[in-house]
Structure 1
Amino acid sequence: MIRLPKITNLYGRIFAIFWFTMLLVLLAVLSLPHFDPRKSHHIDKERLKHLQAIKQRLEKRFAAQTDISKILLKIQPKPPRHPPPPPMRDGLQDAGPDPKLVKKPEPLKEKSIVFITNMNGLVLSPIKGPDFIFRALRNFITSMDSPSNPQQKLYGRLMLSGPLSIHLAGNDYLLYVGQEWHRPPPLLLRLFDHPLQLLLAVMVVSTPLLLWFAWALSQPARRLEKAAQRVARGEFEVDPTLERGSSEFRQAGASFNKMVEAVNDMISRQQRLLSDISHELRSPLTRLRMAQAIAIRKQGKSHELARIDTEAQRLEIMIARLLELSQQQVNSHNHWEEHSLDSLWEAMLDDAQFEAEQLGKQLTFTPIPSYRIRCYPALLISALENLVRNAIYYSHHAIHISIHEQGSSLQVLVEDDGEGVPEEELSAIFRPFYRVSTARDRHSGGTGLGLAICKNAITQHNGTISASKSSLGGLQVKISLPI
C-alpha cells in the first residue's frame, strides 16, 4: 500500500490546498468532453435500439417501393419547432440552456426526423427550414461516416445520431436520425457556460477545505496560548501537545517547552541556593545563641546579651520568612483548587475579629460575596491574614475590611486608623526587606518580608495589590483578584 508523505510544513499545507483546489477545477475541465453533448459520443444501448427500430420500420414500410425519390418525399424531414440559439463556435449552435426551457421545461418528445444519404455521404433527403440544419448535418456526416460505429452529437436543439446502414429501393444507403433536444444541459456544461456559476461551485468546494485548514492552523495556536496563560499563572509545566502540527508550530512549541524547563531549572537552583543559605546561616546562628546562653550562665543577664538574643531571634524569623517566600514561588501551582470565597476567608475573619476584641479594638467586615475562585487556598488565606493581622497590630482602635465586586474583579480593602505610611513610600513597601522610615516597622521588629509575601501570593493569582492612605487615617491596602 502506497502511503503519501505527511505534509508538516505550514507553507506546504497552504500550497497543497491551493493545488488540490486547482486539481478539482482541472478535473472538471478535462471531464467536460465526456459529459458535453456537443461532443461526439457513443450511442447508449437504449438509444441504439430506438434507432434500429426506426430503420426496421422504414425498411418494412417501403419494402415494395423501388423509386428512392418517392421514398424520400414521403419521409421528408421537418425542421424543429424551436429555433436554435445564436451561433457560438465553428458556425454551429451552442447547447447553452434556454431560460424559458429551464424555468418551464417541456416533456421529452421522441418525435424523430430522418435523413438519407448515399454511401459517399451525399445528402439525398430534401431539407426545408433554417440553414443551420443542413450545415449541422453536413458537419455530422463529415465526421461520422461509418455504419459500424454510430454516434450522436448535439447541434443547438437538434440531436443527430447515426449513421446506420439501411436498404431501400434495392440499394444500400446511410440513415441519420435527428431529434429535438428538450432537456437542460448537464451541470458541468452549464457551469462552464456561466462563469459566475462556476465561481460559485469552486467556492462551495473550496470553502470547507479552507475552513478545515483555518481550524487546523488555529489548534496549535490555541494550545500555545493556553500554555502561555498557565505560565502567567505560575504553572511551569511542559506540554508535549505543543510539539504537534506544522513544523513552524512544532518548533515554537519545542522552544516554549525548553523555556519552561529552563525557568523550572532556574527556580529550582534558586530554591536550593536559598535552602543552602538558610542552612549555612542557621548553623552559626545556633552557635551564636548557644554562646549567648553560656555567657548568661557565667555572667548573668545583661542589656547587651538581651540585645544579642533579640537580634538572633529576628534573624531566625527573617530566614524562615525568606524560605516561605521562595517556596511560594516554586510550589504554589501544585496545589491549585476551586473554592468559594466564604470557605476561604470567613473563619479567618471571625478569628481576627475575636483577637481584635481581646486587644480592645474593633474589626468590621462586609459580607463575603458568593463567588468561586480557582486558587492555592493556603496561599490566598495567608495573604489576607497577614494584611489583617498587620492592620490589627498597627491600628489604634478600628480596622475595616471591605469585600465587593467591581466589574470582572473582586476588590478587597483592608484599612486601619494607625499612623500609616508616608505617601512617597507607599509604592516601595511591597519590596522584600524594605523598611519604612517611620516607627511602623522599626519598633515592631518586622523583617520587611510580610508585604512582599502578600504581593507574591496575589500576583500568582493574576491579581494586583497596592497601598494608599486610608479614610480612617492609617494605611489602606487594596487587593484586586479576577473573578
Structure 2
Amino acid sequence: MRFPKITSLYGRIFAIFWFTMFLVLMAVLSLQHFDPRKVTDIPQPHYDRLVSARDQVQTYFSDQTDINSIVAELYRSSMNLDHRSDRRGENDVEVFITDQDGTLITAHEKRYSNVKALKNFVTNIDDADTPKQRLYGKFMFAGPLPIHLANKQYLFYLSVKWNRPPSFLIQLFDHPFQLLLATMIVSTPLLLWLAWALSQPARRLQRAAQRVAKGEFATDPELEKGTSEFRQAGASFNQMVEAVNQMILRQQRLLSDISHELRSPLTRLGMANSLAQRKQGVSPELTRIETETQRLEAMISNLLDLSRMQVDSHNKREIQPLQSLWETLLQDTQYEAEQVGKQLSFSDIPNRSLSCYPPLLMSALENIVRNAIYYGHSRIEVSMKEVGDQISVRVEDDGEGVPEDELEAIFRPFYRVSTARDSHSGGTGLGLSITESAIRQHSGSIRAGKSELGGLLLEVQLPLLPKS
C-alpha cells in the first residue's frame, strides 16, 4: 500500500507532530514490557535453570513421604543450588513449595525472608500452568513448576537474589523526570529536522527578497520547490519579478519611442531656426529659440540615459572594490577643481567592496562632486568612512547652499532651486534626480543638509558586502 505524498506545509507539520507523538506513545507503552517488576515470561536460559533446580529437588526427596520434613530439610540445605549467603545472613536462593491453591507448605513462615513477596507473586499469576517471573526488590521470583513430593503434586517456586544494578529502564520508571528527558532526547532530532525542513524554503525566499531589494530582479527556480504553500509563494514571487522586469523594459521602450518622436521635430525646429538666422540675421528671439531647443535636447538625452542605466543596473550587477569605483574619479575631479582655482580634498577610500552596476554608481558620485565644484566658491571636501556594514560618503562645498525648506525637493525631477545657486546654471534639473534614483537602486539613501563649510552637504549611504 502506497501512502499519498504530503506536500502541504500544514499537512507536513500535522503528520510529523502526530508521528512524533506516536513514537513517544509507543515507547512509553512498550517500556512497561521491559520492566522486570511486572509479571513476564521466563527467558529460556532461566527457565532451563528453574527446571533443573526443580528436578534436583524432586530427585533428592523422591524416597521421603513427609512433606513437612522435606520442606524443613529443603530450607536448611542449599541442595547444590548455588547457595551463597550475604553479610546479613540472607540466602541468595530460596525454594518455596506450595499446594495447588498456592498455600505455602511450611511450619515456620517467619524463617523465610520473602513470604509476602511470594504470596503477592502467586496472586498475580493467572495461569499456574505457565511459569512466570517477577522482580521484588532484590529478588527475582520464578514459577510455578509442578513437582512430585511425598506422593503428591505440589508447586515449585524459586527466589534468586538479583545482583545486577538497577537497569536504565527501572530508573526511568522510578524517576518520571528522566523518562521525560529520554522522551525529549528521542523527539528532539525529529523536531530539529522539522524546523530545518520548514526553514529552508523560507530562507530561500528571504534571500530572493534581499536580492530584489538590492535591485537584482532575477527569478529563482529553487523558490518553486518544497511544500505547496512555499511553491505557490515562490511562483508568485517569480511572477512579480518578471512583471517588474517587463514594466522596466516597457518604460525603456516608451522613453525611446518618445525620444525618437520628439527629436524629429526638434531637429526640424533647429534647421528652421538656422535658416531663419541666415535670412534675417541673429536676433534675441531666434537665439532664445536655439537655447530652448538645446535644452530640450539635453533633457531628452538625460531621460534616456537615466532609463538605460536603470535597466542595466538590474541586469548587470558585479562586485567592485570602492577604490576601483571612485579613486580615479576623485583624482580627475581634484585636477579639474584646481584648473578653476578651487581646492578639492578627499579622505582615504575604505578597503571594502559592494555589489553594483559600476557606470551608474560612478555617475552618481561624479554628478554630486561636479555640482560641488560648480557651485562651491573655493573649497570642496569629500569624506568616506565605514559605518557598520555601510559606507558613508559626504560631499560638502562652501557655496551659497540651498534653503532648508527646499532640501528635500532638490531630488525631484526638473526641480529648480529658487536661489542664485541654480538661476544661471543652464541645467535641466535632472542631475540630482538621476543620482537619487541610482543610489536607491543600490539599496542606499541620500540626504541633503547644511554643510559646516557654509554650502550644501550631500551624504550618501550604501550597503557594503560582508568582510571575507
Q: Same fold (TM over 0.5)?
A: yes
Distance in 1 (alpha carbons) for counterparts of 2:402 and 2:463: 27
TM-superposed CA distance for 1:321, in Å, is: 0.4
Which residue of 340, 360, 366 corresponds with 1:359? 340
Write the distance in 1 (CA, Å) between the matches of 2:340 and 2:463.
Answer: 34
Q: In 2, distance between residues paired with 1:408 and 1:205?
A: 42
Paired residue for 1:235, among 181, 196, 216?
216
Cα deviation digits, residues 148-183 of structure 1 (max 9, x gap): x43323344442222333343455443222223344
Q: Give yes or no for contact 1:59–1:166 (8 Å, CA) kept in 2.
A: yes
How far off is 1:317 after superposition? Answer: 1.0
- Structure 2: how far apart are the matches of 1:362 and 1:333? 36
Distance in 2 between the 1:436 and 1:310 partners? 20
Q: Is 1:464–1:481's contact at 8 Å kept on the other side of the alignment? A: yes
Which residue number in structure 1 is paired with residue 82 of structure 2? none
Query: In 1, distance between residues paired with 2:299 and 2:59?
Result: 122
The equivalent position to 1:136 in structure 2, one of 105, 109, 120, is: 120
Given that 1:136 and 1:155 are in contact with CA atoms closer than 8 Å, whether structure 2 keeps it comes out as no
Q: 2:454 aligns with which of 467, 473, 483?
A: 473
Structure 2 CA distance, aligned partners of 1:364 and 1:143? Answer: 101
| AA of the residue aligned to 1:132 | K
**Secondary structure of the structure 2 residue equivalent to 1:472:** coil
TM-score (norm 2): 0.86
Q: CA deviation at 1:320?
A: 0.8
1:184: Cα distance to partner? 4.6
Identify which range, 6-15 or 205-214, moves more after superposition: 6-15
Residue matched to 2:44: 45
**Unpaired runs of at least 5, structure 1:** 79-105
2:306 corresponds in structure 1 to 325
- In 2, the alpha carbon distance for the partners of 1:201 and 1:51 equals 35
Judged with a 3 Å threshold, the aligned counterparts in structure 2 of structure 1 residues 419 and 77 are, in CA distance, closer, same or farther, namely same
**What is the CA–CA distance in structure 1 between the aligned matches of 2:383 and 2:171, rounded to whole Å?**
74
CA distance in 2, matches of 1:137, 1:397: 107
Is residue 370 of structure 2 the alignment partner of residue 401 of structure 1? no
The match for 1:5 is 4
Q: Distance in 2 between matches of 1:31 and 1:192?
A: 12
Give per-residue Cα distances to partners, 1:291-337, cap 9 Å, x unaligned. 22333444444443333222222111110101111223222032222
AA of the residue aligned to 2:393: V
| Aligned pairs for 1:141-290 within 5 A | 143-146=126-129, 149-184=130-165, 186-290=167-271
Q: CA deviation at 1:134?
A: 5.1
2:287 corresponding residue in structure 1: 306
Give deviations 1:67-108, integer Å, cap 9, x for gaps.
Answer: 433222201389xxxxxxxxxxxxxxxxxxxxxxxxxxx9xx
Query: Hey, what's the Cα distance between the residues in 2 that align with 1:120 and 1:397?
Result: 120
Counterpart of 1:210 in structure 2: which amino acid?
Answer: L
Secondary structure in 2 aligned to 1:175? strand
The SS at the match of 2:361 is helix
Residue 406 of structure 1 deviates from its aligned partner by: 4.3
Q: Tell me, yes or no, if the aligned pair for 2:313 and 2:356 is still in contact at 8 Å.
A: no
Compared CA separation, residues 175 and 366, structure 1 to 2 (3 A): closer
The 10-residue stretch of structure 1 (346-355 or 444-453) with the greater mean CA deviation from structure 2: 346-355
- Between the aligned partners of 1:121 and 1:363, the Cα distance in structure 2 is 111
Structure 1 residue 382: deviation in Å? 0.9
Counterpart for residue 391 of structure 1: 372
Deviation at 1:432, TM superposition (A): 0.6
Determine the C-alpha separation between the residues in 2 that align with 1:283 and 1:363. 42
Deviation of 1:207 after TM superposition, in Å, equals 2.3
Shift, 1:247, TM fit? 3.4
Aligned position for 1:20: 19
CA contact (8 A) 1:76 1:125 kept: no
Counterpart-to-counterpart distance in 2, 1:342 and 1:298: 55
Code of the residue aligned with 1:362 in structure 2: it is Q
Which one of 414, 433, 438 corresponds to residue 433 of structure 1?
414
Return 5+ residue gaps in structure 2 as ranges: 78-86
- Relative distance call for 1:124 and 1:417 in structure 2 (3 A) is closer
Whole-angstrom CA distance in 1 between matches of 2:103 and 2:459: 106
SS at match of 2:409: coil
3-state DSSP of counterpart to 2:141: strand
Cα distance in 2 for partners of 1:330, 1:223 equals: 25
The one-letter amino acid of 1:418's match is G
Counterparts of 1:116 and 1:249, CA distance in 2: 72
Which residue pairs with 2:81 in the alignment?
none
Contact 1:28 1:188 in 2 (8 A): no
Percent identity of paired positions between Structure 1 and Structure 2: 61
Name whichever of 367-376 and 404-413 sits farther off: 404-413
> 2:405 maps to which residue?
424
State the 1:230 CA deviation.
1.6
Give the conservation status (yes or no) of the 8 Å contact 1:77–1:115. no
C-alpha contact (below 8 Å) 1:418/1:473 kept by paired residues: yes
Structure 2 counterpart of 1:174, one-letter code: L
Structure 1 residue 268: Cα displacement: 2.2
Distance in 1 separating the partners of 2:195 and 2:22: 20
Shift of 1:383: 0.9
Conserved? CA contact 2:447–2:460, under 8 Å = yes
Q: Residue 395 of structure 1 aligns to which amino acid in structure 2?
A: G
Q: Letter of the aligned partner of 1:152 in structure 2? A: Q
Which AA in structure 2 matches 1:457? A
